[in-house]
Chain A
Amino acid sequence: MRLPALALAVLMTATPALAVLPGERLSDPRLEERARALSKDLRCMVCQNQAIDDSDAPLARDLRVLVRERLTAGDSDRQVIDFLVARYGEFVLLRPRFGWHTAVLWIAPLVFLLAGIAYLLVVVRRRRVAVVTAPLPLTDEEKARLEAALKP
C-alpha cells in the first residue's frame, strides 16, 4: 500500500543525483555535522515525506547548500531554522514546532495515555469498593443460627 506514495516520491525527482554529494560537504567537520543534523529534520518539499538529507531532488540539494551557507556565515541552528521557516513556511520542518496550532498534535498521545491510566485507576478503585461493600459471608455462629431457624 505504500507503493504509490513512495513511487511518486521518486517519480518527482526529475534529475536523480545522490543525496548529500561529496562536493557539498563543508571542510569543518563540526559545521558539517551540524548541517547533517539539521538536514535530517528538514523536508524536501517536492518529495513525499523525505528529508533533504536523503533526497535526490534538485530542490533538496539547493536547501542543503543553503543550510551550509548559513552555517558558514555563523548562524546558530535556531537561526538557520528560522530563516528557512520565514522563507518556505513551517511545511519545511519535519518536526512541527510546538504552538497553538500544533498543541493538540503534540499533547494528544500523552493525554490519551494518561486518560487510559486514569480510567484504569478508577476501575480498580471501584472494584475494590465493590469487594469491600459486598455482603460478608456468614460466620459459623450465624450459619448455625440460620440453620436452626430454617429447621422445621
Chain B
Amino acid sequence: MMSPEVGHFALVLALALALVQSVVPIWGARRGDAALMATASPVALGQFAFVTLSFVVLTYAYLVSDFSVENVFQNSHSTKPLIYKISGVWGNHEGSMVLWVVILTLFSALVAVFGRNLPLTLKANVLAVQGWITVAFLLFILKTSNPFARITPAPMEGRDLNPLLQDIGLAIHPPLLYVGYVGFSMSFAFAVAALIDGKLDAAWARWVRPWTLVAWIFLTAGISMGSYWAYYELGWGGWWFWDPVENASLMPWLAGTALLHSAIVMEKREALKVWTVLLAILTFSLSLLGTFLVRSGVLTSVHAFAVDPERGVFILAILVVFIGGSLALYAWRAPTLKQGGLFAPVSREGALVLNNLFLTASCAAVFIGTLYPLALETLTGAKISVGPPFFNWTFGPLMVPLMIAMVFGPFLAWKRGDLAAVAQRLTLAFAAAILATLATYAVTTGGPVLAPLFVGLAFYVIVGAILDIAERIQLFRAPAATSLARARGLPRAAWGAAIAHAGVGVMLLGIVGETAYKQETIVQMRPGESIAVAGYDITLQGLVPVEGPNYRDLVARLTVREGGVDAGTLEPAKRVYTARAMPTTEAALKTRGMSQLYVSPGDPGTDGSIALRFFYKPMVLLIWIGTLVMMFGGLLSLSDRRLRVGAPKPSARRVAAAVQPAE
C-alpha cells in the first residue's frame, strides 16, 4: 500500500484531475452551464486527496528509511531523530515541490468547501485558474523532479540531511513560507477570474481580502522564523543578510502588504480597482519568481543554470506563461473595468495610495538589486555583487516616509481629510517621538548620529497606533463605560490594523537597537580566564567533548556572573555531524529583557585556548516580537465578521454597532 509507486501514481491521477479542473468549470462558466461549473468542487477535493496521498507515501518512505528511494537516500539517515526524518521530506528540492502542490491543492479544496457563497461563475473561474497552476507544477514535478525515483541495489545507509537543516526552526520554516507563497495564488486566481468575467465589485475585494490576509500572516511568520533561525543557527549573529533567497520571500511580502491595503480602498470605496487587480497578479508573480530563483539554481551561478538547465528552463517557462499571460489578459481586459469613487489627495484613500507607492517602490528596489547582477552577467559577462550596503541605501530611505505616513493614514477621513487636524490629534505621538529621541541621545554614547531619530520614529509609530484606538473609543473623553462599550463594538479589523502598525514600530525599535548599539568583543581565551562584556563577567571553565545522537560537540563551557551574582552558564559549541563530517557552529544565547548576549565559538587553538566572539545585542528580540505583533494584528483582522469567508453580509450585531460614527 505504501509503496513509493503508489505516491507516484497518485501524482499522475492528480494531474489528470487538475486537467479536468482547468477546462471544464471555465467552459461551463462561458456557456452558463451550472452542471459543468459544479464539477470544479469535487475535482478540487479529489486532487487534494491524491496529492496528499502522494505526500504521505513520501513521508512514510522517510519514516521507515526506505533508501531504495533516491530522494530518501540523499537526504535521510537511519539514526536521524524522528522530527528531522519528517522535516527532511521538504528539506530537499523534490519533496519541497510536492509540499508546494499539497498547499496549492489545499487552497483549492478550501475554496471548494468554504466558497458556497461565491457566485457560481466566479467560483468556477477561480478554481479553473487554480487548476492551471496545479497542472503546471505537477508537470514540473513529474517531468523534472520525481521524488519517487528508485535506485537498485538499495544502499544500506542514507547520506543524512544537511546538518544545518536539522533544527526545529528549519523544520517548520518552509511550510510556513510556502503557505504564504501559495496563498497568494488565491488572490491571483480571483484577479484572473475577475478579468475573464469583466466583473469586479466591492464584494470581490471582500472575498479576496481574507485569503490575502491568510497568505500574508503565514509569509510574515515564515520570513520571521527564517530570520531567527539564521540568527541563532548560522552562528555569526546576523538576522537579515539581503541574500537573494531572502529577497525572494521579501518581494511578495512587500507586494502582498500593498495588496492588503489597496483591497481596503476597493472594498470600502470601490476605488483603485484596476490597481488592486494588478497588485494581485504581481504579488503571485513575485511568489513564482521566488520559487524560480531558489529552485532553478540560477542564484548559485548563471553558468550552473546554463549547464543543467532542465529544471530552470521549465520553471522559467511557467513564469513566462503565468506572468506574461496574466499581464496580457490584464492589458486587454482592465480598461473595461469601471473606476469608482473619486477622492481628494489628502484622504484615507490618498494615504493608502501613498502606502502602495512606497511599498511597490521598495519592492522594485529589492527586485532590481536581486536580479541586476544576474542580468548584467548574462548580458555582458561582468560580475558584480549587490550586497547589504546597496539595500540599506535604497530600501532604507523608502521605509522612512512610509512609516511617517502610516500613522496619519488611519486618522484621515475617507474622501477628504484634514492634515492639520490630524497632526493636532497626533500631538502625543510627536511628543513621544521627540522625548524618545532626546532620551536616547542622553543615555547612549557612541552609535550612529541618526540612530536616536529612528528610536523616535519607532515610538511615533507605536504611540500613533495606540492613539488611533484611543481616538476611536474616545478614551478619557467619554465615561469609562462608554469607552469600554466602544472598544467592544470596534470592528476587529480596526483593532487588527492598529496592532499590526504598532508591531512595525516594535520591530523598528529592535532593528535600531541591534544595528546601532550592538557591542562586540573578540578574544582568545584559555580555561580559567575571564572577560567582562556588557555588564557580564564571563569565565571559560573548560572545553568539553560531548556526544550527540548523530554529532559530536566540543563545548566551551562558560559561567556567567552578573554584578557578582551567578547568572548561569553558556555553552557554545563546535559541532561535527558524523555522517557528512560536516562542521557547524552552535552559538549560545543569554537573554536579559529584550536584549541578548550572543557567543559564537571559533576553532580551538593548540594551547588549549579557543577564540570566542561575544556580541551584546540590545533590544534584538523586539525584531521578532514586532513581527509576532504584526501577525497577531493580522489574525484579529481575519476574525472580523465582515471578512469571515462565506459571510459577506453584515450581521445584525454589526448593524447595531454601526450606530457609532463610521471609521
A residues whose Cβ falls under 8 Å from a Cβ of B: 1-8, 10-11, 15-23, 25, 40-41, 43, 48-51, 54, 56, 89-96, 101-102, 104-106, 108-109, 112-113, 116-117, 120, 124, 127
10 more contacts with CB within 8 A, not counting A6-B234, A11-B582, A96-B386, are A2-B226, A3-B164, A15-B603, A43-B387, A51-B387, A56-B236, A96-B390, A108-B364, A109-B362, A120-B353
Interface residues of B in 147-162 (CB under 8 A from A): 162
Q: Could you tell me the distance in whole angstroms from the C-beta of B170 to the nearest C-beta in chain A?
A: 6
Q: Which one of A6, A20, A25 contacts B243 once the chains associate, using CB atoms below 8 Å? A: A6
Query: Please, what's the 1-or-0 string for B228-257, where 1 marks a CB less than 8 Å from any CB in chain A?
Result: 001000101010011111101100000000
Query: Please, what's the 1-or-0 string for B352-373, where 1 marks a CB less than 8 Å from any CB in chain A?
Result: 0100011011101100110010
Q: Which one of A1, A50, A90 contacts B249 once the chains associate, using CB atoms below 8 Å? A: A1
User: Are A95 and B387 CB-contacts (below 8 A) given A2-B243, A7-B165?
Assistant: yes
Contacts of A112 in B (CB 8 A): 360-361, 364-365
Contacts of B603 in A (CB 8 A): 15-18
* Complex alpha-carbon distance, A80 and B61, angstroms: 55
Q: Could you tell me the distance in whole angstroms from the C-beta of A45 to the nearest C-beta in chain B?
A: 8
A-B contact pairs, 6 of them (CB 8 A): A19-B613, A93-B384, A95-B393, A105-B369, A109-B364, A124-B345
> Contact between A127 and B522 (Cβ–Cβ < 8 Å)?
no
B601 CB within 8 Å of chain A? yes
> Contact between A101 and B173 (Cβ–Cβ < 8 Å)?
no
> Contact between A2 and B246 (Cβ–Cβ < 8 Å)?
yes
B39 CB within 8 Å of chain A? no
User: Are A17 and B611 CB-contacts (below 8 A) given A41-B389, A51-B388, A120-B353?
Assistant: yes
Query: Please, what's the 1-or-0 string for B180-207, where 1 marks a CB less than 8 Å from any CB in chain A?
Result: 0100000000000000000000000000
Q: Could you tell me the distance in whole angstroms from the C-beta of B609 to the nearest C-beta in chain A?
A: 9
> Contact between B164 and A105 (Cβ–Cβ < 8 Å)?
no
Contacts of B584 in A (CB 8 A): 10, 16
Q: Which one of A18, A89, A91, A92 contacts B601 once the chains associate, using CB atoms below 8 Å? A: A18
Q: Which one of A10, A20, A90, A93 contacts B613 once the chains associate, using CB atoms below 8 Å? A: A20
Q: Could you tell me the distance in whole angstroms from the C-beta of B83 to the nearest C-beta in chain A?
A: 16
Contacts of B602 in A (CB 8 A): 17-18, 21
Residue of B nearest to A23 (CB): B524
Contacts of A21 in B (CB 8 A): 522, 524, 602, 611
Which of A6, A8, A11, A106: most chain B Cβ within 10 A?
Answer: A6
B residues whose Cβ falls under 8 Å from a Cβ of A: 91, 162, 164-165, 170, 173-174, 177, 181, 226, 230, 234, 236, 238, 241-246, 248-249, 290-291, 294, 299-300, 342, 345, 353, 357-358, 360-362, 364-365, 368-369, 372, 376, 380, 382-390, 393-394, 398, 522-524, 574, 582-585, 600-603, 611-613
Q: Could you tell me the distance in whole angstroms from the C-beta of B289 to the nearest C-beta in chain A?
A: 11
Q: Could you tell me the distance in whole angstroms from the C-beta of B90 to the nearest C-beta in chain A?
A: 10
Q: Could you tell me the distance in whole angstroms from the C-beta of A88 to the nearest C-beta in chain B?
A: 10
* Complex alpha-carbon distance, A104 and B373, angstroms: 11
> Contact between A1 and B177 (Cβ–Cβ < 8 Å)?
yes
Q: Could you tell me the distance in whole angstroms from the C-beta of A30 to the nearest C-beta in chain B?
A: 15
* Complex alpha-carbon distance, A15 and B581, angstroms: 12
> Contact between A91 and B234 (Cβ–Cβ < 8 Å)?
no
Contacts of B611 in A (CB 8 A): 17-18, 21-22
Q: Which 7 pairs of residues, A with B, have the shortest CB-CB distance?
A: A18-B602, A94-B387, A95-B389, A109-B365, A2-B245, A113-B361, A5-B245
Contacts of A2 in B (CB 8 A): 226, 230, 243, 245-246, 248-249, 294
Residue of B nearest to A48 (CB): B243
Contacts of B177 in A (CB 8 A): 1
Contacts of A1 in B (CB 8 A): 174, 177, 181, 226, 245, 248-249, 290-291, 294
* Complex alpha-carbon distance, A127 and B291, angstroms: 41
Which of B300, B364, B393: most chain A Cβ within 10 A?
Answer: B364
Q: Could you tell me the distance in whole angstroms from the C-beta of B555 to the nearest C-beta in chain A?
A: 16
* Complex alpha-carbon distance, A122 and B603, angstroms: 62
> Contact between B389 and A94 (Cβ–Cβ < 8 Å)?
yes
Contacts of A19 in B (CB 8 A): 236, 613
Contacts of A11 in B (CB 8 A): 162, 582
Contacts of B357 in A (CB 8 A): 113, 116-117, 120
* Complex alpha-carbon distance, A49 and B384, angstroms: 11
> Contact between B300 and A8 (Cβ–Cβ < 8 Å)?
yes
* Complex alpha-carbon distance, A113 and B357, angstroms: 7
Which of B368, B372, B387, B574: most chain A Cβ within 10 A?
Answer: B387
Residue of B nearest to A2 (CB): B245
Q: Which one of B245, B389, B398, B613 contacts A6 once the chains associate, using CB atoms below 8 Å? A: B245
Contacts of B385 in A (CB 8 A): 43, 49, 90-94, 96
Contacts of B164 in A (CB 8 A): 3, 6-7, 10
Contacts of B394 in A (CB 8 A): 106, 109
User: Are A101 and B345 CB-contacts (below 8 A) given A2-B243, A19-B613?
Assistant: no
Contacts of A108 in B (CB 8 A): 364-365, 368
* Complex alpha-carbon distance, A92 and B386, angstroms: 10
Q: Could you tell me the distance in whole angstroms from the C-beta of A119 to the nearest C-beta in chain B?
A: 9
